[in-house]
Amino acid sequence: MSVAPQILKAMENSSAIRKAFEAGIKLKKEFGNDNVYDFSLGNPDLEPPVEVKKAMQKFAASDDTGTHGYMPNPGYDFTRAAMAKKVSEEQGVSIEGKNVIMACGAAGGLNAVFKAILAPGDEIIVPSPFFAEYTHYCANHGGVLVPAMTNEDFSINIETIKKALSPKTAAVLINSPNNPTGKIYSKEDIKLLADTLTEHAKKTGRKPYIIADEPYRAIVYGNKTVAPLFPVYDASIVVSSFAKNLSLPGERIGYVAVNSACPEAELLCSAIIFATRVLGYVNAPAFFQRVISETWNAPVDFSSYLLRRNALTKILDDAGIHYAEPEGAFYLFCKVPKSKSGSTDENEFCSHLEKHHILAVPGTGFGKKEWIRLAYCVSEKTIANSAEAFKAAVKTW
């Protein structure tokens, strides 16, 4: 008996986020929670809105027959209609419920999309840095993830996208606001990307999809907005969830929305529905389909994330650690300072930070050397208490 060799290899290169998180658990047991500064995991710490909790109570108390039974694989019609309303408002174009497939979180949605569109050896281009699990999601379905470096400010570099394009390109995957940088891709960036792929399609006869992974769409700063994709590119797909905006990551509820202007919208939706079934998800959780159908637009105050961002950036400024100022989400992507020996190695620096009870994630996990990620969806106390530790870590580095 053995484990598949490709899984063993993937495990060896597994998520640096989880490794840092698990190291934090050990440190907390040894030194206590107040003496460990864990910035490893992007686990939203706001409580779900009161509307969500009331809906949970209401549906939990329901005695309606069949409440917990199977439904069609793409989800309840009333939930799909609610998500279509949500996406139509965000995108500025109308889509119908038939163009929505409910998913087991955004991760389940992305896997269903990849299963539906990838032939063996097909490629998905992603602006880098990017969420590390994309590599595995792509490989799950015989695809290859192709990173395309971004500009210095982490905006889309259209030239690296052009160089990465090939007849095997099935899609370009974007994540805005971006994990790990917090960058929001501009309306101009999105339009230029759309035009570039349209030209590529004319040359090759294959039009790549643009897939927008948008779980952080609502968490933005400074009156920023996430540019709509559907009005500028017909072969487009939005994948999202309620993990971050409603603080429901453990409930695994998300959706896939296909642009109604896509020439193959009906066939693509059918393929994603089939993929949802054969991947073993069968359908998104029935209970939370009901909950979010009524609470998807519940108001949420994200101002505490901004306050914590500002508190942590001040600490990093004082310590001498440079970073890219995030426009959304709840991460700081930080440049590794040069050590006394001249090193800017991100893994060495994370190990050094750990000696000072600071948990960070190396940038290599996101396709970017010499950088680290800090998630500031942690308590204000953790941030405040970390100040001296950051100063000491940089001083002794």
Average pLDDT over residues 22-48: 83
Question: Which of helix, strand or coil describes residue 17?
Answer: helix
Average pLDDT over residues 42-51: 93
pLDDT, mean over the chain? 94
Sign of CA pseudo-dihedral 380, 381, 383, 384:
positive
pLDDT of residue 6: 83
Average pLDDT over residues 334-339: 97
Who wins on pLDDT, 385 or 11?
385
3-state secondary structure 243-267: CCCCCCHHHCCEEEEECCCCCCHHH
Indicate the pLDDT class of residue 153, thresholds 50, 70 and 90. Answer: very high
In percent, the amount of the chain with pLDDT more than 90 equals: 88
Confidence (pTM): 0.95
Q: What is the DSSP letter of 56?
A: H
Cβ 131 vs Cβ 179: under 8 Å: yes
With 80 as the cut, is the pLDDT of residue 25 above it? Answer: no
With 70 as the cut, is the pLDDT of residue 13 above it? Answer: no
pLDDT tens digit sequence for 158-211: 999 999 999 999 999 999 999 999 999 999 999 999 999 999 999 999 999 999
pLDDT of residue 394: 97
Residue 50 CB neighbour total at 10 angstroms: 11
pLDDT tens digit sequence for 112-150: 999 999 999 999 999 999 999 999 999 999 999 999 999
**What are the phi and psi torsion angles at 83 (to 5°)?**
-70, -35
pLDDT of residue 17: 67
User: Domains (ranges, CATH) in the chain?
Assistant: 5-48+301-395 (3.90.1150.10), 50-295 (3.40.640.10)
Cis peptide before 337 (omega within 30 of 0): no
Average pLDDT over residues 5-16: 73
pLDDT of residue 306: 96
With 80 as the cut, is the pLDDT of residue 64 above it? Answer: yes
**What are the phi and psi torsion angles at 356 (to 5°)?**
-100, 20
With 80 as the cut, is the pLDDT of residue 34 above it? Answer: no
pLDDT of residue 131: 94
Question: Which of helix, strand or coil describes residue 187?
Answer: helix
In percent, the amount of the chain with pLDDT more than 70 equals: 97
With 70 as the cut, is the pLDDT of residue 9 above it? Answer: yes
Query: Which residues partner with 174 through β-bridges?
Result: 212
Torsion on CA atoms 132, 138, 144, 147, rounded to nearest 10: -30
pLDDT tens digit sequence for 256-291: 999 999 999 999 999 999 999 999 999 999 999 999
Who wins on pLDDT, 7 or 108?
108
Residues 130 and 179: their CA atoms lie apart, in Å, by: 6
Residues 272 and 334: their CA atoms lie apart, in Å, by: 37
Per the listing, tokens 């050397």 go with 369
Q: What is the DSSP letter of 220?
A: B
Q: What is the DSSP letter of 95?
A: -
Q: Which two tokens stand for residue 189?
A: 């960036």
Helix, strand, coil % (nearest 5) of the chain?
45, 15, 40
Cβ 163 vs Cβ 309: under 8 Å: no
With 80 as the cut, is the pLDDT of residue 383 above it? Answer: yes
DSSP-assigned states of every residue in 280-313: T--SS-HHHHHHHHHHTT-----HHHHHHHHHHH
pLDDT of residue 16: 64
Indicate the pLDDT class of residue 31, thresholds 50, 70 and 90. Answer: confident
pLDDT tens digit sequence for 294-332: 999 999 999 999 999 999 999 999 999 999 999 999 999
Residues 11 and 19: their CA atoms lie apart, in Å, by: 11
With 70 as the cut, is the pLDDT of residue 77 above it? Answer: yes
Residues 162 and 165: their CA atoms lie apart, in Å, by: 5
pLDDT of residue 41: 83
Torsion on CA atoms 266, 272, 278, 279, rounded to nearest 10: 180
pLDDT of residue 206: 96
Per the listing, tokens 């994948």 go with 239
Residues 248 and 300: their CA atoms lie apart, in Å, by: 13
Cβ 229 vs Cβ 91: under 8 Å: yes
Average pLDDT over residues 243-265: 97
Residues 247 and 101: their CA atoms lie apart, in Å, by: 21
Cis peptide before 129 (omega within 30 of 0): yes
Q: What is the DSSP letter of 92?
A: S
With 70 as the cut, is the pLDDT of residue 1 above it? Answer: no
pLDDT of residue 327: 97
